[in-house]
Amino acid sequence: MKIAFLKEGSAETRVAAIPETVKKFTALGIEVAIEQGAGEGASIADSDYDTAGATVGARDAVLKDADAILCIMGPEPGSLQGAKQGAILLGALDPTRRTDDVKAYAAAGLQALAMEWMPRITRAQSMDILSSQSNLAGYKAVVDAASLYGRAFPMMMTAAGTVSPAKLFVMGVGVAGLQAIATGRRLGAQVSATDVRSATKEQIQSLGAKPIFVEGVAGIEGEGQGGYAGETSPEYQAAQAELVSGHIAKQDIVITTALIPGRAAPRLISDAQIASMRPGSIIVDLAAEAGGNVEGCVAGEVVDRHGVKIVGAVQLARTLAADASALFARNLANFLLAFWDKEASALKLPDDDELVKAIRLTNGGQVVHDRIKP
Ligand code: NAD
């Protein structure tokens, strides 16, 4: 078997292979080929891959006869000319937005598998790219906020007077939110957090932060279906807006991460609420690409409203390319190696396996996944 890793598009800094995963593959007798310069954005030199046992070369040679192509983001279908019929394409393929590309992968005879649709179950935890990348994004959102904030995070008692601690509020306590809380605490901020799922209350407390929850109106009991939030009732939304209004006016930093699968991000902060904050405050909206939790947020930009900076954070994991690549590369390797048949020395992806079923988009020239089938 031969696995190919291509240089990603220009906006991407991460790479889907690290020397450690290359060694894991080659130890099984798998041939690994990597396009020249693929690791540049993550500070991995071609020579590092070479030392780990990969062959580094030009795209055509890397793609030729490859049985699997592993990537961070799905490559432009046109850039896969020469790929073998039936080859696996595994990565974050963004199938709901890039439907035409998925059709083109099918037409090219590729077997495309979308890592972001991996079920959030114990068996697949080590393959979960959403968690590995969101965790880094939650950390970086707080670090970015700290660098934009014109004041310090921790309380400092000095001979020249006392510096008050920053007040940081996290809205949405999934993987990114939990890491944002932990990072805010490490930097010495006073942290509070909210979510619609009642199960997160205990998690917030266990990190030493203060839970801010709507009382008396039902939100989402426990973890929510599949661990995810759903839409809350209009009554709950009104109570949440009132609660947030009272709290947000006293906050210096707000990190929003709220997402609902398959829907636009819920709007959590209005322009009037932003106006109630102290000038110099910072809001980082991690849901910017999904429409934003914050009114006036623009994805990929920093906007000033009423003296408050609103950061429309996009793909923050890319700004930590070395760590993000390492985690992503291990997620990919963990998936492939779970389906490696040692005796046959071959990869076997059974049709009836729950992970394969959940992520396989195309097979035999057709789009086969129910969520995107024509
Ligand atoms: P997500 O990115 O889908 O959403 C982020 C958070 O926003 C969630 O906590 C959600 O409840 C919250 N949210 C949605 N609407 C909101 C609103 N109106 N107000 C406030 N908050 C709102 O979440 P995620 O990080 O992908 O995590 C989703 C779930 O999956 C969590 O329960 C997590 O523990 C679970 N998970 C399980 C596994 C596993 O078992 N393998 C792995 C990772 C995550």
From the CA of 160, how far away is ligand 1's center (Å)?
43
Q: State whether the beta carbon of 181 lies less than 6 angstroms from ligand 1.
A: no
pLDDT of residue 215: 87
The class (CATH top level) of 131-314 is alpha beta
- List for the chain the helix, strand, coil content (%; round to 5): 35, 20, 45
For residue 222, the model assigns a pLDDT of 67
Q: In this predicted model, what pLDDT tens digit does every residue of 117-160 receive, in sequence order? A: 999 999 999 999 999 999 999 999 999 999 999 999 999 999 99
Please state the pTM of the whole predicted model.
0.95
Q: Which atom of ligand 1 is nearest to the CA of 194?
A: 20
- Would you say the CB of residue 121 lies under 6 angstroms from ligand 1? yes
Q: From the CB of 172, is ligand 1 less than 6 Å away?
A: yes
Cα(172)–Cα(224) distance, integer angstroms: 13
pLDDT reported for residue 36: 98
Q: What separation in Å is there between the alpha carbon of 228 and the centre of ligand 1?
A: 5
**pLDDT-flagged residues of the chain (< 70):** 222
> Class of the 2-117+321-367 domain?
alpha beta
Name residue 70's beta-bridge partners: 5, 90
Say if 2-117+321-367 and 131-314 have the same CATH topology: yes
227 C-alpha to ligand 1 centroid (Å): 6
Residue type at position 218 = A
Give bridge partners of residue 255 from the DSSP assignment: 170, 284
Residue 134 CA, closest ligand 1 atom number: 25
- The ligand 1 atom nearest the CA atom of 220: 11
Q: Which residue's alpha carbon is nearest to atom 35 within ligand 1? A: 227
Q: Which pLDDT does position 223 carry in this prediction?
A: 73
Question: Would you say the CB of residue 125 lies under 6 angstroms from ligand 1?
Answer: yes
How far out from the chain centre does Cα 251 lie?
Answer: 26
Q: Is the CB of 107 under 6 A from ligand 1?
A: no
Instruction: Judge if the beta carbon of residue 266 lies within 6 A of ligand 1.
Output: yes
The tokens for 270 are 């209005």
The residues that are catalytic are: 120, 125, 128, 131, 228
From the CA of 223, give the closest atom in ligand 1: 32
Residues 6+ positions from 132 with CB-CB distance below 8 Å = 324, 327, 328, 330, 331
Structure confidence by residue, pLDDT tens digits, 32-46: 999 999 999 999 999
Q: Which of 197, 216, 185 is nearest to 266 (CA)?
A: 197
Domain boundaries, the chain: 2-117+321-367, 131-314
